[in-house]
Amino acid sequence: MFATMSAQDVEMDTVDEVVDAQKKASEADALVLADLKQNFVLLERAVSTFESRFITRVLRTAASIRKRLNADILSQAIRDVYPRDAVDKRRLLKFLGKDSGVMDVDSDDTAKDNPQVLPEIDLYLHLLVMIYLLDKQDYYQGTLLSNETVNKVQTSNRRTLDQLSARIYFYYARFYELSEKLADIRPVLLAAQRTATLRHDNDSQATLLNLLLRNYFYYNLYDQADKLVSKTTFPETAGNNQQARYMYYLGRIKAIQLDYTASHMHLNQAIRKAPQNTVTAGFQQAVYKLSIIVQLLMGDIPERSIFRQPVLKKPLVPYLHIVQAVRIGDLSKFQETLAKYGDVFRKDKTFTLILRLRHNVIKTGIRMISLSYSRISLRDICLKLHLDSEKDAEYIVAKAIRDGVIDAIIDHEKGYMKSKENADIYSTNEPQSAFNARITFCLNLHNDSVKAMRFPLNAHRKELASAEALRERERELAKEIAENDMDEDDEVADF
């Protein structure tokens, strides 16, 4: 009997747990629906007041809503918003795998009385379904939906749709990238970028420009990317995320073109503008990987603290070995690291740049040798740098002297290199140029901070209206005081 009772208790506990889980799930779904309805209200307010900050608030909630989305929540939101016989309603429910006929029977009777859906709410629901399909890894259905949504975007011309259109283009390109068909949408992106430029749609313009650059980099078309950058202007009012991406792409272009100083400047700006959190870990890793190689190509050694950051510690292990090889000028260690982590460098698309570091490793080794020895034979240089012959060592040393890497002379007859005495660095213009670079950076940072400040739209008009009302009130008070003074004078005269 006790065994039977215990089994029944276990079954009752299991049923209670299932009921509690279902209750919590329904409460969570209700909270998500409430958030979506609040976003619909914000979108309506953005249209009525023509304020883009309400749409910005809606898009900021996309990350939190995305984690809690499911097909039931989206289908319920779609049924609540669209009229009963809406074409977009049936199409979206079809992408979610819901039978629109059954849903309409069970839906509320007020669905048939819904007014026409605003284009902003319509595209927002399309965007949510695209995100749901992306998380579900249903790239085929996502590609079909993104094509239809982009067609809707291209047929509309409303400034309140700018931010939503930019997000839609991003996921549109993302579906094609995951399907390995990025080349198919390049004409669409180019046409959309031209249209956004003509309409002064800064959000879509910045997003599309970054998508085009990513499209070119995917196929290693760096010349076309450079031509696109030279023929276009990136909007200054774009968000920090898009600016960070654009600076990273500029850094890659300049690095390929051997302009390492400009590349390092752009990469530093990308690091500063990118959000410092775990969500953007992938972007931070990509920027730091390229920045480390560019610094090495410039002749600088990256700071050790970079490799100790939790987000970067593990991914930057191969690059740490490269930095160590370049820092000590060990050519054999450089070749071993290149052979060991070659696949990683190819995946990061930094292998070509790392191959250029071989000459820097040799130059670093020669510089250290020139600082350590006042005179050394070419044969010893050949052995220390693991070169093939003394003739190669002689050519490399001669080129280092010509480039200003070392201050030395070569005695070709006796076969040795003699270093000259070190000059005082403060007698040169190098400290002044470094000080000038720091001043320029501080001024640019100040200008960027001023540009990043945001003010409410037409706030000065409200201040003028309040000031006018205050002056009118003061005039009324002055008039009342004057009338009271006159009445008091009359009373005194009568007395």
pLDDT of 210: 93
Token digits of residue 350:
């930094």
- Tell me the per-residue pLDDT of 349-386, one tens digit each, with 9 for 90 and over: 889 899 888 887 877 777 777 777 777 777 777 776 76
pLDDT of 169: 92
- Tell me what the pLDDT averaged over the chain comes to: 80
Same domain, 124 and 251: no
- Tell me the per-residue pLDDT of 137-169, one tens digit each, with 9 for 90 and over: 888 888 898 898 889 888 888 888 888 889 999
- Tell me the per-residue pLDDT of 404-443, one tens digit each, with 9 for 90 and over: 666 677 767 777 677 766 656 666 777 888 888 899 999 9
- Tell me the per-residue pLDDT of 269-321, one tens digit each, with 9 for 90 and over: 999 888 887 778 888 999 999 999 998 888 788 888 888 888 888 989 999 99
- For 459, the enclosing helix (H) or strand (E) is helix 459-494
- Tell me the per-residue pLDDT of 62-98, one tens digit each, with 9 for 90 and over: 888 888 888 888 888 888 888 877 888 888 888 888 7
d(CA 260, CA 270): 15
- Tell me the per-residue pLDDT of 283-296, one tens digit each, with 9 for 90 and over: 899 999 999 999 88
State percent of the chain over pLDDT 70.
Answer: 81
Same domain, 214 and 290: no
Choosing from 193, 226, 259, the residue where a domain stops is 226
Same domain, 35 and 178: yes
Same domain, 65 and 118: yes
- pLDDT band, very low/low/confident/very high, at 250 (cuts 50, 70, 90): very high
Whether 317 is covered by a domain: the verdict is yes
The CATH number linked to 206 is: 1.25.40
Give me the mean pLDDT over the 468-484 stretch.
74
Same domain, 154 and 62: yes
Choosing from 201, 226, 251, the residue where a domain stops is 226
pLDDT of 276: 80
Same domain, 201 and 88: yes
Give me the mean pLDDT over the 390-397 stretch.
72
Q: Given a cut of 80, is residue 11 above it in pLDDT?
A: no
Q: Assess contact for 206 and 162: CB atoms under 8 A.
A: no
Same domain, 320 and 406: no
Q: Which residue has the tokens 């930094």?
A: 350
- pLDDT band, very low/low/confident/very high, at 120 (cuts 50, 70, 90): confident
Q: Which of 16-25, 222-231, 238-247 has the lowest mean pLDDT?
A: 16-25
Which residue range is the domain that position 92 belongs to? 22-226
Q: Given a cut of 60, is residue 493 above it in pLDDT?
A: no
Give me the mean pLDDT over the 186-200 stretch.
90
Same domain, 208 and 277: no
Choosing from 382, 406, 425, the residue where a domain stops is 425
pLDDT of 79: 87
Same domain, 303 and 256: yes
Whether 177 is covered by a domain: the verdict is yes
Same domain, 332 and 207: no
CA-CA distances (angstroms) from residue 443 to 67, 367, 406, 446, 447?
Answer: 41, 35, 34, 5, 6
State percent of the chain over pLDDT 90.
Answer: 16
| Burial label, 433 (beta-carbon count in 10 A; 0-12, 13-18, 19+) | exposed
pLDDT of 107: 47
Whether 163 is covered by a domain: the verdict is yes
Whether 258 is covered by a domain: the verdict is yes
